[in-house]
Amino acid sequence: MTSRTRKRVAGIAAALVASAGAVTVTASAAQAAPLTPMERCLAGQSPNVDYQMTQFGNASGLNYPPGDNPPNAIFPGDVVRVVIDESTRVAINWWGESYGVDGHNDPAPQGFPFPGWPRFGSFYRFNNDPGGWVASGHDPNPYNPHPLRELTACAYAPNVPVRLGLQINDDNIGDNSGYWRYWLRIWY
């Protein structure tokens, strides 16, 4: 080989090594892309928000964020999940009849906050300030409640900013005692 050919081969080899390095760097950068909020939730990674909530049986409702008229705090693209402390119970009368968050299987009659839905369970709805109730999950009716149990799986937030409201489906909370405890987790 002549010196000219050796230089040409060396130049081609150097170009190949350089391009291989560029490909390797590009592939490494693609692998390092951050996980989406849903991927982080499904992988059990730490949420951005981990908020403990206690829903007392003798209180009509509970909000996130807390307060009488809280601001929107859950945004489009966020992923929401609730972890329920299954050992907590609400007694719904003075005789000790108590339930977990799913309540009693029979439908509530008229006079209950959510007639036709299971009695004595905890229900959630999303609400936009100032727009009002927001459809959630696969239900297009924004006024319908949802059993809190639905949020034990990773779920996308609605497509508008919202806050979360919880309510017990009971027509007489005055004789209730006990509480349910949850952790609201939000990834963004």
Query: Does the global pTM surpass 0.85?
Result: no
Q: Domain segments of the chain: what residues?
A: 1-33, 37-187
**Calpha distance 184→135 (Å, rounded):** 19
In the predicted structure, residue 20 carries a pLDDT above the cut 60 = no
Coil/strand/helix, residue 108: coil
The pLDDT tens digits for 85-133 are 999 999 998 888 999 999 999 999 999 999 999 999 999 999 999 999 9
Looking up tokens 């996130």, which residue turns up?
64
Give 149's DSSP letter.
Answer: G
Of 23-37, 43-57, 110-124, 144-158, give the lowest mean pLDDT range: 23-37
CATH class of 37-187: mainly beta
- Residue 49 backbone phi and psi in degrees, to 5: -125, 130
Q: Identify residue 173 by its one-letter amino acid code.
A: I
